[in-house]
Amino acid sequence: MKQEPFDKRIVLQRLDQNGEWEDWLQLMARVNRTGGAERHDYGARRAAFSLTFEVRYLNALHAIYLNTQDFRIIYRDAVFYVEDYDDFKERHHTVKLEGVCNGEGYHQY
């Protein structure tokens, strides 16, 4: 079976020492919808959806493994917070990052 190409550009951002988001890596990814949910934050309903971003393995990506809260993905002008990291059987071929978006857009100033 033929694999889909890595054809979607994403930007991985991380929190810097001052708590500000900075561009960290630009990668090409395969993107697939993971799911959608309605989240309840303090009584408010928010629609959220998640995408899985599969990228080629890089050693640098291991920084995300136990620190998902410090990373987010910018894709198609939307912000996806990283909620899961999967290096299948630690084979170091590809990494799947699950990102959740709550409708927040990305704006550069």
CA distances from 74 to 16, 42, 67, 90 (A): 16, 26, 17, 25
Give the pLDDT score at 107.
66
How far apart are alpha carbons 45 and 42 in whole angstroms? Answer: 8
- Judge contact between 11 and 73, C-beta under 8 A: yes
Give the pLDDT score at 88.
85
Chain centre distance of CA 109: 21
Give the pLDDT score at 71.
97
Q: 48 — phi, psi (to 5°)? A: -140, 150
Residue ranges, the chain, pLDDT below 70: 1, 35-47, 107-109
Give the pLDDT score at 103.
79
Q: Considering the entire predicted model, what is its pTM? A: 0.84
